[in-house]
Copies of this chain bind each other. A is one copy, B any other.
Amino acid sequence: MSKNHLYKGTLSAILLKLIEEQGRMYGYELTKRARELTSGDLDITEGALYPALHKLEAEGLLTTEVEKIGNRSRKYYRLADEKGGEARKRIDELAEYARNLQQFLNPKPGHGAA
């Protein structure tokens, strides 16, 4: 029972935020963390995840390091130094979006009307 439909459009910014927080993360880890933090509301599927990560890498926002864990390989992502500003900008936009949405849903009870 995911509520993915509402998260549409925020996926790549969410990925950037998680990666920024942890320093580096790999795909599978990102899906688990997102599920945790949203109480299961956001269930990122591979079909959405990997294309999004690849796109961010292609844009130069992320760099990768492949690491062997035993016989299996993980692909770690981290924010690219050169475009760190752009990444942070997108994360900030996400935060501003969240605030706007809150504002929208719970408009400040103006001083005017009782």
Contacts and interface: CB of A to CB of B under 8 A. Distances in A.
Interface string A1-32: 00101111110011001000000000000000
A3 B41 contact: no
Contact of A6 (B5, B10, B41, B104): B10
Interface residues of A, number: 28
A44 to B, nearest CB: 13
Contacts of A39: 100
Given A39-B100, A41-B97, A100-B38, A105 B3 contact: no
Given A3-B96, A37-B103, A37-B104, 6 more contacts: A3-B97, A6-B9, A7-B97, A38-B100, A38-B104, A98-B105
